[in-house]
Chains A and B, each alone.
Chain A
Amino acid sequence: MKSSRRSFLKVAGVSALGTGLLKPVADLLAASGGHGEAPAEKVYKNEKALKAKQWAMVIDTRKFGSEKDLRPIIEACHKIHNVPSIDNKRHEIKWIWEEEFKHAFPDQELRFLPERIEHLPFLVFCNQCENPPCVRACPTKATFKRDDGIVLMDFHRCIGCRFCMAACPYGSRSFNFRDPRPFIKETNPKFPTRMKGVVEKCNFCEERLAVGQIPACVEASNGALVFGDLEDPESDVRKLLRENFTIRRKQALGTGPAIYYIV
């Protein structure tokens, strides 16, 4: 059958009109049938939640003498977050741990270190970078940067590819090579554990900030750790940064770490 341009245009016009008329009908069907969307749910933030534009921390390492001073801080964190203690170094999970100066700050090339600093353990954990490379590496957006600067993980969404671990220049991330549950001495029922096959790291105690509590490490540090909003000139961290000389880990990489160390 050969159709002329005229009859083609006629058919096209009628069809266009028809689909236009059908749409409201289709909408009506969609609305009445099937599950239908749930009524607009009302969700809120907790009024007590602590807010910031970019959370940051200042660690006054002058207040630490030895490993002994760091233990309670590490334990406080690992206990409330159900972080397992696995002896095998290759399976180890850590959110916050200690590191020697030369390993924590390899770019601070000092030929002669002060004696105090040379063997002083430094507290290291996720730097909550302003420009986090892990977020860019994550193929599922399981790791993302929140509006308040916290680099958070959605464990539900982690597929365990470990790109983020390769991307993180601070080794802040650990992978669950095995089920962590048998290695958790005391489980905190308020916080979930992780499962085999996901990556985990420090979450800046976002679950505590959300109910108005300060991070567990800050609480356990007797004032050696101070946290606050980096964007607020009146915040505690900004005050400390004004008054003291601080260094950051591997600053030259451009990740913008938000953890500052007074040495």
Chain B
Amino acid sequence: MNNTQTFYNGGKVFIGLIIFVILVTLPFWYNHGKAAPTPEPQLTEKAKAEKACIRPKDVMKSEHMQILNNWRNTVVRNTNRIYETADGKRFDMSLSNTCLDCHSNKAEFCDRCHNYVAVAPYCWQCHIEKPKETKE
């Protein structure tokens, strides 16, 4: 111990550091190896019976937000309220009255994925979800 500097309380410091690192990384250890399963949105009987949405499923999955945004602009700004699908079916462009008519189970259909990807769309602060399925 002549030329070296003294490391006071070395043991305690290192134990403290180890505990600190463990504590900080605890969430990673805790969740290690168990990734949350990808949620599967549930269809209501009515939606199942309908078979097809206004666009193919993968388009709806990735682009429903853009579609809804277009819908609201067309309806509010251009007063066009009817949407024709590729196979000629016509729908009233309305989140509350058309989308939610089939997908009346917001908790199992919308919220599952939205929670999984941690987005909180504020559609529901104005648009009314179906009353019986309001459990969050």
A156 touches B79 (CB 8 A): no
Could you tell me the distance between the alpha carbons of A82 and B131 in the complex, rounded to whole angstroms?
A: 15
Q: How many residues of B contact A (CB 8 A)?
A: 27
Interface 1/0 per residue, A160-202 and B, CB below 8 Å: 0000000000000000000000000001011111110000000
A43 touches B74 (CB 8 A): yes
B128 touches A152 (CB 8 A): no
B76 touches A45 (CB 8 A): no
Q: Can you give 24 contacting A-B residue pairs, CB < 8 Å?
A: A38-B63, A42-B84, A43-B74, A43-B78, A43-B80, A43-B82, A43-B83, A44-B81, A44-B82, A44-B90, A45-B79, A45-B80, A49-B79, A154-B77, A155-B126, A156-B76, A187-B128, A189-B131, A192-B127, A192-B128, A195-B122, A210-B79, A210-B81, A211-B81
Q: Is the C-beta of B112 less than 8 angstroms from some C-beta in chain A?
A: no
Most chain A beta-carbon contacts within 10 A, residue among B77, B79, B96:
B79
Q: Which 4 A-B residue pairs are closest in the complex by CB-CB distance? A: A42-B84, A195-B125, A43-B80, A192-B126
**Chain B 69-121 residues near chain A, CB threshold 8 A:** 70, 72, 74, 76-84, 86, 90, 93, 96-97
Q: Is the C-beta of A41 less than 8 angstroms from some C-beta in chain B?
A: yes
Most chain A beta-carbon contacts within 10 A, residue among B70, B74, B128, B130:
B128
| Chain A: CB-nearest residue to B59 | A38
Could you tell me the distance between the alpha carbons of A201 and B131 in the complex, rounded to whole angstroms?
A: 26
Contacts of B70 in A (CB 8 A): 38, 41
B interface residue numbers (CB < 8 A to A)? 63, 66-67, 70, 72, 74, 76-84, 86, 90, 93, 96-97, 122, 125-128, 130-131
Could you tell me the distance between the alpha carbons of A101 and B26 in the complex, rounded to whole angstroms?
A: 72
Could you tell me the distance between the alpha carbons of A148 and B78 in the complex, rounded to whole angstroms?
A: 11
Contacts of A194 in B (CB 8 A): 126
Contacts of B82 in A (CB 8 A): 43-46
Which of A41, A144, A156 is the one whose CB lies under 8 Å from B83? A41
Contacts of A152 in B (CB 8 A): 76
A45 touches B81 (CB 8 A): yes
Could you tell me the distance between the alpha carbons of A192 and B125 in the complex, rounded to whole angstroms?
A: 9
Q: Is the C-beta of A103 less than 8 angstroms from some C-beta in chain B?
A: no
| Chain A: CB-nearest residue to B129 | A189
Contacts of B67 in A (CB 8 A): 38
Could you tell me the distance between the alpha carbons of A139 and B128 in the complex, rounded to whole angstroms?
A: 28
Contacts of B84 in A (CB 8 A): 41-44
Q: Is the C-beta of A136 less than 8 angstroms from some C-beta in chain B?
A: no
Could you tell me the distance between the alpha carbons of A148 and B77 in the complex, rounded to whole angstroms?
A: 12
Contacts of B81 in A (CB 8 A): 44-46, 49, 210-211
Could you tell me the distance between the alpha carbons of A210 and B127 in the complex, rounded to whole angstroms?
A: 19
| Chain A: CB-nearest residue to B76 | A154
Given contacts A42-B83, A42-B84, A210-B81, contact A193 B126 (CB under 8 A): yes
Could you tell me the distance between the alpha carbons of A191 and B128 in the complex, rounded to whole angstroms?
A: 8
Given contacts A41-B70, A42-B83, A43-B84, contact A192 B96 (CB under 8 A): yes
Contacts of A206 in B (CB 8 A): 79
Q: Is the C-beta of A239 less than 8 angstroms from some C-beta in chain B?
A: no
| Chain A: CB-nearest residue to B128 | A189
| Chain B: CB-nearest residue to A197 | B125
Interface 1/0 per residue, A72-104 and B, CB below 8 Å: 000000000000000000000000000000000
